[in-house]
Amino acid sequence: MSTRSIVPFGPQHPVLPEPIHLDLVLEDEKVVEAVPSIGFVHRGLEQLVEKRDFQTYVYVAERICGICSFMHGMSYCEAVEKIMDIELPARAKYLRTIWCEMSRIHSHLLWLGLLADAFGFESLFMQSWRIRETILDMFEESTGGRIIFSVNKIGGQRRDMENSMLRGFLTKLDQVEEQVKSITEAFLNDHAVNTRLRGVGILTKEQAYGLGAVGPFMRASGIEFDMRMRGYDAYKDLDFRPVTSTECDSYARCKVRIGEIFQAIDLIRQAVDKIPEGDIAVPVKGFPNGEAFVRVEQPRGEALYYVCGGGKKFLERFRVRTPTFANLPGLLQTLKGCQLADVPILILTIDPCISCTER
């Protein structure tokens, strides 16, 4: 008869960039159940709307997470713009789309590096992060920041990208594309990597849907769904189809994210090709009075923003449902039946962002 034991995993662990704790119930080396607890870095940012006026709060929203910072700021702005019935200039929508896709590339490259590090492939980890530096350089050139960008505001953007800069970005993206192709070979075809990822952490299509999974984690289970299909910002003008895989395992999650890097490069090329001239912001008058739900596709998946204002300087409520929070039940499912040694890899395959989750 096997022996049952409980192994505490985290909150501090070499594979976890941020703290999360799991109580793993084991039968010998096999996980039979995992119970999560979070809240080690809960900051209460949602409640800060009571102390920061709705314009200033854009900077707080950006600081929910250091990876999706652009999209958090942008989505907050879009929710307020929806309440105030503000129509953005077309150029601002394209700028937002380009920065969103740059965020996706750097987020996925960061994740690939962390994954390589987790299975002990150090040179692949360094290669992934080296390529990511080019994207961060592009952010620095276009926004002045590498982590926090502060280019979003209610009613548009604070900065424009000159057409010469955009053309330069395309040249850099050509190089990035070639470099990503070279690491793709290792991620998808290397025998050692395959051994760690293939058949590990199966989440079927039905389970992914039923457990409310989102983003690449869900699309790797064969569900063709992406909030960008709703056509917000400039996505309605771009040729786009979600990247999916039907293998439903950790390998599929890696494959989908790599596919999304190439797709993001393609979307930026299309956006640069179609971006119109014109203003990048419209003037904003008054205070938000009403409520709005906005959903966007962050690198980690669907995020939902709720904003409610009572016609005053300070909002009544701001709420974010982040992708990692939605993916936790799916993660617990993938952990059931896995070996203890696979737990770090499986936690990584949802691309967890605890800062987002605990905001």
Q: Which of 251, 248, 252, 224 is nearest to 334 (CA)?
A: 248
In the set 17, 329, 336, 337, which binds other proteins (CB under 8 A)?
A: 329
Binding residue (CB under 8 A) for other proteins from 1, 3, 14, 85: 85
* Residue 312 is a binding residue for other proteins (CB under 8 A): no
- The reply to whether omega before 19 is within 30° of 0 (cis) is no
* 82 binds other proteins per the rule CB under 8 A: yes
Site stretch for other proteins (CB under 8 A), options 63-71, 115-123, 167-175, 294-302: 294-302
* 257 sits in which H/E element: helix 250-274
Structure tokens at 100: 């969103």
Using CB under 8 A as the criterion, what x/- string covers residues 214-233 for binding other proteins?
-----------x-x-xx---
DSSP 39-103: -TT---GGGGGGTS-TTTHHHHHHTT-SSSHHHHHHHHHHHHHHHTTPPPPHHHHHHHHHHHHHH
Phi, psi (rounded to 5 degrees) for 341? -65, -20
321 forms part of the interface with other proteins (CB under 8 A): yes
Paired tokens of 283: 């003037």
Residue 263 CB, nearest distance to other proteins (Å)?
Answer: 19
Assess 306 for contact with other proteins (CB under 8 A). Answer: yes
Q: What is the DSSP string of 93-150?
A: HHHHHHHHHHHHHHHHHHHHHHHHHHTT-HHHHHHHHHHHHHHHHHHHHHHS-SS---
Q: How would you classify the pairing of strands 152-153 and 156-157?
A: antiparallel
Q: Which stretch binds other proteins (CB under 8 A): 103-111, 136-144, 256-264, 293-301?
A: 293-301
The stretch near other proteins (CB under 8 A) out of 33-41, 153-161, 174-182, 189-197 is 33-41
In the complex, the smallest distance separating the C-beta of residue 330 from other proteins, rounded to whole angstroms, is 8
Helices (H), 190-226: 191-197, 205-210, 215-219
Residue 131 main-chain phi, psi, to 5 deg: -65, -40
Determine which residue in the list 38, 100, 115, 180 makes contact with other proteins, applying CB under 8 A: 38
Task: Choose which of 5, 47, 56, 204 interacts with other proteins (CB under 8 A).
Answer: 47
Stretch that binds other proteins, among 143-151, 238-246, 324-332, 346-354 (CB under 8 A): 324-332
Residues that bind other proteins (CB under 8 A): 35, 37-40, 42, 44, 46-47, 82-83, 85, 209-212, 225, 227, 229-230, 290-295, 302, 304, 306, 308, 316-317, 319, 321, 325-326, 328-329, 358
